[in-house]
Structure 1
Amino acid sequence: MDAVQITVLALIQGITEFLPISSSGHLILPAQLLGWQDQGIAFDAAVHIGTLVAVMLYFRKDIWLLIRDWTLSLAGKGTTEYSRMAWYVGLATFPAVIFGLLLKMYGIDEAMRSTHVIIATTLIFGTLMGVADYFGKRTTEMSGMTLKSAMMIGFAQAIALIPGTSRSGITITAALMLGFKREVAARFSFLLSIPVTMGASLLVILDLVKSTEVVIWSELIAGALISGVSAMLCIHFFLGMISRAGLMPFVIYRLLLAVVLLIII
């Protein structure tokens, strides 16, 4: 790949991984518009690791408190909001893991990777996000998170395995429907993304180990750095604006994206 392709694809991954606009919907645009060949699983692994490191660095204090209090709760030192949250994040990850394994086992994951599926999910779940943002009560704090609500958000995350849905979009939508504040919904969504992103990165790395693809390390390092820095800036920007502007700008963008995809296919 040349420098332009590396930069564009890494920025797409870094920006769209955490914004509620669907990374899969955007990753097909360069190939459609510019005729680029597939970047390969090695590059996919690199940019996924970049975004994983970004979210872990951004929430490093929360992650430390989650791990610390969860460990103390296992040792019988009592429970805290962070220890409960650690359990909620862990348990809410299982629906996506189970659903993902079933899709891979029956080969459905590859069948769903079509432009028509992406257009439909971009449109449907973008509209649903708008409804949730407009009608949601937006009163519940993070302390109001329960196992039931966490699992419902976790099941929503499993739906995001369908291309075009947007993992952050569907989990924030579910949290808003449950009455959580916008910033709380986004924060829990990002924390919930860590185990899933880590698992996805490991799967891509395993595929890379099995493949005979030639690895060009300079491309991978550049891609990881660009996706990581752009992802961290994106998380900071999104958390700062969501409480003020809401999700409607992203809803409108998704609807326009669906129209653009429909035109170019």
Structure 2
Amino acid sequence: MLNLDFRAWDPDESHGRFSDKTKNDFYHRDTFTKYSGKYDYVKLDYNPSTSKNNDKNDENKKKRAEALEELKSRPIPESKLDKRVQNLIELICNVRLMEEALLEMKFDAKKNPLGKLSSAQIKAGYAALKEIENFINTNNFNAAFMEANNTYYTRIPHEFGRHTPPLIKTTKQLKHEMELLEALDDIEVIFNTLNTDTNNHVNPIDQNYEQLKCKLNPVNKTDNIYQLIDKYLQSTHAATHQLYKMQIEDIFEIERDGEKEIFNDVGNKMLLW
């Protein structure tokens, strides 16, 4: 893949190189057309999508850096949340776990830091997989199928070391790549939800919880709903699955801001299982 970080290029040298490698004019790259046998143009989102402009982005980054430096020299305020909620928020916001999960799925998180792959690129990945699915369903693995694979791997960079990226030829492979895109979608939502403003007087876990704008109430083991869900879990465990057992760790009641009013008149609810 051609490195298209134009910010570090010499304009006189880079424009001709861009044209040679992509068969597109540098000044018209917003209407980029992919040509077979030529490099593609992958646009990364270097700014949080919730920011209004570059000045605001720079200001937020500077504020966060200063706040983090100050936080290192002062004790972290005690969290006011239930310990079970704290553990859940830490899990949701654990960037290291996100990176590890994506690395297992062969996503190149080093060249594409979490939250920096643009939503347009992820949508392009979905479109490429849809095209690949059509080829798989018709058992048609022609040159167009190869091009669809190339397009997908260009839009969604992977890390296979020195090995050639495998052709996505089975429904199992297709499902694996769909799960990768769904994970990238979820990560983008998390990064866009948790903004860059830091409050030195609030525990970071509590701040992340507030930014989710969603109430998480732990359900006690003595509550009827807890016992009902536990009963469902045990009674629906298939007899053929004897190699493992499932046990509930925690149950949470979730209420997003403004959602209660919307569903007030819905009537009885069914337990989704």
Q: Report the TM-score, using the length of structure 2 for normalisation.
A: 0.22
Report which structure shows greater RCO (CA 8 Å, sep ≥6). 1
**Structure with greater helix share of residues:** 1
Structure label with greater radius of gyration: 2
TM-score, normalization: structure 1? 0.23
